[in-house]
């Protein structure tokens, strides 16, 4: 894989924090537990700071519809990691939580997608930024709009479960660093 930092525009300087939005989802086992663990794990990584966490939404599955509903959220982070380092970090957290990639759009303990990395536009075999399908996914756009413009919304397939679900566990973030 080519080094994504080689393709960064001049206005994104390696080593300076970049605002990044991540989409997290889970539809197996303790869905909230997996999401909380993933956010805490990311918060404990050098070069990542959690800036904001959206409300928790329950969403109908997309693609393969014969599976349990998902819990989804969007997390805004500030990071000094390169896009490739961040992708590797997200995939390591997924593996630690037992993520298995057997069926496309299939059930999973955790899914972490990089939605945006600052203003970077990247087309790499392993990472496309911004995320190529995020505009078509209400389970991404509804929590993303919540973080970007404060709008809490729902749709037929995306239901608000709980606002401010993460701050109740926020005190644990510092213990992971």
Catalytic, 99? Answer: yes
List of residues 6+ apart from 57 with CB closer than 8 A: 71, 72, 73, 139, 142, 143, 154, 158, 159, 160, 161
Which tokens hold the place of 150?
A: 């404060």
d(CA 33, CA 6): 37
Catalytic, 162? Answer: no
Catalytic, 31? Answer: no
What are the backbone angles phi and psi of residue 50, rounded to the nearest 5°?
A: -75, 125
Catalytic, 108? Answer: yes
What are the backbone angles phi and psi of residue 70, rounded to the nearest 5°?
A: -95, 155
Catalytic annotation, pick one of 60, 84, 113, 124: 113
Contact 50, 77 (CB under 8 A): yes
d(CA 44, CA 48): 7
HEC assignment per residue over 59-106: ECCCCCCCCCCEEEEEEEEEECCCHHHHHHHHHHHHHHCCCCCCCCCC
Catalytic residue numbers read: 99, 108, 111, 113
């Amino acid at each position: 894989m080519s080094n994504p930092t080689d393709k960064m525009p001049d206005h994104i300087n390696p080593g300076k924090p970049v605002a990044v939005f991540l989409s997290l989802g889970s539809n197996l086992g303790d869905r909230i537990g997996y999401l909380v663990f993933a956010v805490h794990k990311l918060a404990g990584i050098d070069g990542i700071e959690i800036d904001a966490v959206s409300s928790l939404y329950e969403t109908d599955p997309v693609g393969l519809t014969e599976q349990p509903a998902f819990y989804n959220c969007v997390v805004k982070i500030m990071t000094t990691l390169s896009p490739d380092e961040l992708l590797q970090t997200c995939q390591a957290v997924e593996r630690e939580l037992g993520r298995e990639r057997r069926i496309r759009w299939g059930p999973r303990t955790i899914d972490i997608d990089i939605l945006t990395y600052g203003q970077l536009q990247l087309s790499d075999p392993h990472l496309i930024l911004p995320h190529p399908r995020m505009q078509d996914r209400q389970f991404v756009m509804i929590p993303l709009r919540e973080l970007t413009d404060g709008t809490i919304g729902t749709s037929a397939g995306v239901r608000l479960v709980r606002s401010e679900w993460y701050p109740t566990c926020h005190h644990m973030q510092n213990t992971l660093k």
